[in-house]
Amino acid sequence: MKIALDVLGGDNAPLSTIEGAFSYLDDQGDSAAELILLGDKAQIESTIQELSRDKDDITIHHTTEIIGMNERSSRIFREKPDSSLVKSIQLVRDGEAQAAVSAGNTGALLASSLFMIGKIPGILRPAFAPYIPTDNGGFILCDAGANADTKPQHLVQFALMACAYMEHLGNHPNPRVALLNIGLEENKGNELTINTYPMLKSHISNFIGNIESRYLLDGKADIVICDGFTGNIVLKLTEGIISHLMGWIQKGIESHVINKDASSICQPIFDEINTTLDHEEHGATPLLGINGVIMKCHGSTSARGIKNSLIATQKTVQENLIADIVEILSKHTDIIDNSTKLSEANPV
């Protein structure tokens, strides 16, 4: 198996990406996949030297273009065809790698994957499904930002794909699926959630109903379904509040003269919480619905995050997540049939 690794995406690239790649090779030994590192060849080689590693352990694929901060993600594959992000996806398309891993811009990764590889046949929209860790076991949030505007049939497919993915994550059969909503009752919500509820009820075996955002961290659901706008708001708000509150408490402890010992006393507790909440533990998540294994790492991922992402990627390819999504979809083709009927009845 070959995995294409975009070394230029992410806040700590390329150093931590390359460090993570070697850490993965150390960890997996003989069972490791072959790694193709994409980026500037000279920069990759000098980083490898800096890390006192052997460049013969990996393959370097030289790319010449850099993706800037302000570029439109929907045009990257046209405007930066020789960037490490786009080339990584191209290798998967051409069968030269079985998966690609990137910590680059989610929108660019998604748009390029859609254009160059396309969707799994039958899938209406791809979705971004990160794992949100909590002290109660965590959950998958789907969609967390791939689609800003969605329809009920999209959300039902997101739920089916997330179920297939959750079962891959570990021995988690029949995950509990909830619909993110502003009330518990079936008739509560906006037009989208009110129309989605009965469809989830009929298509998802372990649909547990609506969940209010107040209880998201309480471990009641394994998969939380929502549109990508709401999911992205939830994802970033969760990260923002936790980081804000932890900083606030630590500042408070430091500023109280009387509590000069409290900082060291509380440190193990903060460390424990930070470890639990750490997205690095989980590694990358696949862009669900793309007809190839394209894995997205958190933008601020560290070497450890890259290592865990590569492990997750290898597992996703070996266990053939895409075949499982195809299989689960084949049992629910009426979602699309109904959706076709719907669009025929209401032509835009």
Helix (H, G, I), strand (E, B) or coil at 161: helix
- 8 A C-beta contact, residue 61 and residue 90: no
Share in percent of the chain as helix, strand, coil (round to 5): 55, 15, 30
Residue of 75, 78, 201, 244 that binds its own copies (CB under 8 A): 244
Q: Which stretch binds its own copies (CB under 8 A): 52-60, 95-103, 110-118, 256-264?
A: 256-264
Residue of 65, 239, 281, 324 that binds its own copies (CB under 8 A): 239
- 8 A C-beta contact, residue 335 and residue 22: no
Half-sphere exposure (Cβ direction) of 275: Cα atoms closer than 13 Å: 6
Residue of 268, 344, 345, 346 that binds its own copies (CB under 8 A): 268
Q: Restricting to residues 120-139, name those near its own copies by CB under 8 A.
A: 134-135
Measured from the CB atom, is 60 or 155 closer to its own copies? 155
What is the nearest approach in angstroms of its own copies to the Cβ of residue 108? Answer: 13
- 8 A C-beta contact, residue 20 and residue 303: yes
Q: Cα dist. 207→41, 107, 184, 231, 346 in Å? A: 49, 29, 13, 18, 28
What is the nearest approach in angstroms of its own copies to the Cβ of residue 72? Answer: 8
Q: Cα dist. 243→134, 268, 270, 273 in Å? A: 14, 17, 11, 11
What is the nearest approach in angstroms of its own copies to the Cβ of residue 310? Answer: 27
Residue 256 binds to its own copies (criterion: CB under 8 A): yes
Q: What are phi and psi of 347, to 5 degrees?
A: -60, 140
What is the nearest approach in angstroms of its own copies to the Cβ of residue 193? Answer: 8
Q: Restricting to residues 209-238, name those near its own copies by CB under 8 A.
A: 212-218, 227-230, 232-234, 236-238
Residue 152 binds to its own copies (criterion: CB under 8 A): no
Q: Which two tokens stand for residue 157?
A: 């497919």
Give the Cα separation of 18 and 6 in Å (integer): 10
Size of the site for its own copies (CB under 8 A): 51
Q: Restricting to residues 173-192, name those near its own copies by CB under 8 A.
A: 180, 182, 189-191
Residue of 51, 266, 311, 328 that binds its own copies (CB under 8 A): 266
DSSP assignment of 108-121:
HHHHHHHHHT-BPT
Q: What are the residues binding its own copies (CB under 8 A)?
A: 134-135, 145, 148-149, 180, 182, 189-191, 193, 212-218, 227-230, 232-234, 236-242, 244-246, 248-249, 252-253, 256, 258-259, 261-262, 265-266, 268-270, 272-273
